[in-house]
Each structure stands twice: as structure tokens, then as C-alpha cells.
Amino acid sequence: MWHVQPPAIRLLILGPRGAGKSLHGRTLAKKLGLFHIQFREYLQELVIAKTKKRVVSEREETQTAAEQDLPPEEP
């Protein structure tokens, strides 16, 4: 008699920025005993390994540009 193992649980959580995807992903992984992988971090590791450069998102570029336009902080 064959004993077939069910496949591992895989969840994909989609949503707009700030919707709580990471929060809920970590919570579900902890409760269900699963691994939690943040795709953006994983993708950065793959890109850096090949290009030796970090990919910067449009949001990060906007933040960096805005920070450069700010006057220096006073002591």
C-alpha cells in the first residue's frame, strides 16, 4: 500500500504597500510552523550575487532624492 504525502503548504500574500502582508505572513508562518520568505529580500540577494549592486525601488529613490533636498540638520 502506498502512502502519499500531501504537498507542503505554500501561501502567497498579495496586497498594496502598507497592507500588512509581512506582518500577517510572519504571524501565519509562526502559527502554522512554516518558513516565512519575503520575496523582495530574497530577490535582492539573488540580484546582488549576480550584479554586486542592490536594486533600489522607485519609493526608495524618491525618499533619497527628498532627503538630499533637505537642509542640513541643526545641532
**Nearest C-alpha neighbor of 39 from the set 9, 10, 74:** 10
- Tell which residue, 9, 7, 5, 18, has the closest CA to residue 36: 9
pLDDT higher than 90, residue 68: no
Instruction: List, for residues 5-34, the tens digit of each pLDDT value.
Output: 888 888 899 999 899 999 999 999 999 998
In degrees, to the nearest 5, what angle opens at C-alpha 34 toward C-alphas 30 and 40?
Answer: 95
User: Is the pLDDT higher at 40 or at 16?
Assistant: 16
Q: Is the pLDDT of residue 65 over 70?
A: no
Q: How far, in Å, CA of 53 to CA of 48, rounded? A: 5
Distances in Å between the Cα of 38 and the Cα atoms of 26, 27, 66, 74 are: 9, 13, 27, 37
pLDDT of residue 37: 87
